[in-house]
Structure 1
Amino acid sequence: MKNAIYLAKSHDCAANLAGEAYLMSLPHEHVLYLWVNDPCIVIGRYQNPFNECNLQRMDDEGVQLVRRQSGGGAVYHDQGNLCFTLIGDKEQSSKEENFALIIKALATLSLDCELSGRNDILLNGKKISGNAFQTTATKFCHHGTLLISSDLSVMGNYLTPSSTKLASKAVKSVASRVGNLKEGNQEITNEMVQDALIEAFKEMYGEAEVQEIDFTTFPAAQQNYHRFGDRSQILKETPQFTHSFTHRFPWGEADFRILVEQGVIRDILMFTDSLDTSIVSRIKAILIGVPYERHAIEAVLNKSEQGDCTDLLTYLLDSFSS
């Protein structure tokens, strides 16, 4: 089959991305894949989730963390956002052609959108679509978001990182002024945008069968699920970074620096004017090798019987808070 259109029945973002990876392995010349996710934060391939997300709040409110294989910045998804993927032969496909298809489809819904310089699509100056790309030996994959009626009021709750001071070479997201397509057409729905994209795809490439597929039960996708949705795997792929703070405690001032690698505390550098210099070796003994996650550090705090170490651990945990 030359062309194919797939509609995801699942709202699990990691499963849907695993499904996308499967679709890239198929021999079709052109594929349109449309998918909608439950609330989640999707970070780019080379991003640091500790820098991009409020992980504690996400855990508290059941917002999934997902890492995609393409580049770009962190984005928030919910069911008011329609995701699209266009897959084509590497030598024949281009993002320019794909953008033309998307903008043409939106124009049929009386939405006058334009492409910006950062590979975003704008409506009345607001970003309604972010895009990212991935190239394999034979395929070019272009996927993006289309904000239709997303709850933009909660986006900052999860994309605003904690007050933790981090230093990393990871790619950082670029803040943008975002909006919904509903601001340009109050009657618009996910189904209307979906249908417009399908028609534009058929007009550009010819007829194609529309197939629904549930990637939460599809074996080839489930084998790949861990690449996108396994929390420990996501943290393990985080680039090395440092977490630092300076604070005066009752027992003295501490300039405290943690080296985190693959989501685990690997080393600690501490400068202090404390009269008890053993604090440096004692804090290293209880923290090195511990996962850089709130619950793991809380477990260390709960076992601590040393007042100065307890002070340090409490302050460290407070820096994870929003």
Structure 2
Amino acid sequence: MDNAIYIATTHNCAANLAGEAYLLGQEYDHILYLWVNDPCIVIGRFQNPFSECNLEAMEKDHVQLVRRQSGGGAVYHDQGNLCFTFVGKKDVSSKEENFKIVLDALRSLGIEGELSGRNDIVMQGKKISGNAFQTTKDKFCHHGTLLVNSDLSVMGNYLTPSSSKLASKAVKSVASRVGNLQQAKGDIEMKMVEDALIVAFCKAYGPTEIEEIDFLNFPESQRDFHLFGDKETILSKTPQFSHAISHRYSWGEATVHLDIIKGVIETARVYTDCLDTNLVPQIEKCLNSVPYRKEALQAVVDIEQDERVLELVSFLISQL
């Protein structure tokens, strides 16, 4: 069999996912790809970042937003989390074989993991690995995570949306109890887990050469970077959703109902007890066709002169 092992040297998640897409097109029977990311939130292909993430907190803390091509829920990555990818020809690959390699690697470190549900690995009742799958015409891609010593305390800062009431047709994440491998093996290090996976892969498929690769500066992955890491591209691929925001302003109470399509406010409707009947159409007009982004709404604030409209739009900005 013709096999390959790649280790990413960059910690940019979008670049590493673009690299994974590149590897999906390579003619190997089996590929093991190992990668570690800087802090980021990775959402599934059909998820809504507005309902999954606290975008304001992420921007403040420089946590990258990334959309992968596989399904599943939103997850937090940092340099305490090892990502692994198996790419193989469909006729010689299966998730069962891949899971066996991961479990064998853990067992070699003295850690007993077990499969749970369709795509998780648990240890002592806590989820240590989430997995997702993607199939092309002739390839099977299985990627997953292994929480080694990740900072689990900050996950809730970024995976809890700050918005008030949001209705979306997108896939929702399922909350899980998560844990680190460090809880079972106090002296564990990332390199130990990488080495264990490599040994288990070679045991399954034979000795394989290891190649380090920088996908941030690799031409083929640079070409596809925007698909995974460009914020405008990610938000434009957001499934249609609606967002209703209620608040009491100095001029009255109002609920703003926004229909968002491809990340743009398609329709704004305002319900209020304000006595000025001219205010509602004024607000709706200034919001329609505006990208649902802080920067775009701030541009509305910069040119709007009515203090009541400024107050409302400023509050909308605070909810993003």
TM over 0.5: yes
Output one character per residue of 1:71-125: Cα deviation in whole Å (capped at 9) or x when no partner. Answer: 0011111111110000111133211111111011100000011111141111111
Q: Single out whichever of 306-315 and 63-72 deviates more from structure 2.
A: 306-315
- Quote the residue 2:43 is aligned against: 43
Deviations 1:129-148 (A, max 9, x none): 11000000000000001000
**Distance in 2 separating the partners of 1:179 and 1:152:** 8
C-alpha displacement of 1:314? 3.0
Q: Distance in 2 between matches of 1:303 and 1:108?
A: 63
Query: What is the CA deviation profile of residues 140-164 of structure 1, one whole-angstrom value per residue up to 9, with x for unaligned ones?
Result: 0000010001111111111111133
Alpha-carbon contact 2:51-2:163 (below 8 Å) kept: no
Q: 2:99 corresponds to which residue? A: 99
* CA RMSD, 1 decimal: 1.4
Residue identity (%): 60
What CA deviation, in whole Å up to 9, does each residue of 1:224-249 have, x standing for no partner?
Answer: 11111111100010001111023343
- Give secondary structure in 2 for the equivalent of 1:259: strand
- Match of 1:267? 267
Q: CA deviation at 1:168?
A: 0.6
CA deviation digits over 1:46-94, x for unaligned, max 9? 0001111111111111111110000001111111111000011113321
1:164 is matched with 164
Q: How does 1:25-174 map to 2 (within 5 A)?
A: 25-174=25-174
**Count of matched residue pairs:** 320
Q: Does 1:195 align with 2:180?
A: no
Segment of structure 1 superposing worse, 142-151 or 255-264: 255-264
C-alpha separation in 2, matches of 1:255 and 1:35:
45
Displacement of 1:250: 4.0
What CA deviation, in whole Å up to 9, does each residue of 1:294-321 have, x standing for no partner?
A: 232233224332132123223323333x
Paired amino acid for 1:88: G
User: Partner amino acid for 2:29?
Assistant: E
1:156-209 per-position Cα deviation (integer Å, ceiling 9, x unaligned): 111111133111100011101111000000111110000100010011111211
Give the conservation status (yes or no) of the 8 Å contact 1:42–1:67: yes
- Is the 1:131–1:144 Cα contact (8 Å) retained in structure 2? yes
Q: Give the 3-state SS of the residue equivalent to 1:128 in structure 2.
A: strand
Structure 1: gaps spanning 5 or more residues: none
The equivalent of 1:207 in structure 2 is 207
Q: Secondary structure at the match of 1:245?
A: strand
- Conserved? CA contact 1:36–1:79, under 8 Å: yes
Tell me if structure 2 keeps the 8 A contact 1:127–1:179: yes
Moved more, 242-251 or 112-121: 242-251
TM-score, normalised with respect to structure 2: 0.96
Deviations 1:270-296 (A, max 9, x none): 223322222222112211122211232
Residue identity in the other structure for 1:206: G
Using the size of structure 1 for normalisation, the TM-score is 0.96
Preserved CA contact (<8 Å) 1:56 1:294:
no
Encode CA deviations 1:16-42: one digit per residue, 9 max, x unaligned: 111101111011000000001111111
> What are the ranges of 5 or more consecutive residues in structure 2 without an aligned counterpart?
none
**Aligned residue for 2:14?**
14
Aligned residue number for residue 278 of structure 2: 278
Distance in structure 1 (CA, Å) of the matches to 2:218 and 2:247: 51
Contact kept in structure 1, 2:34 and 2:85, CA below 8 Å: yes
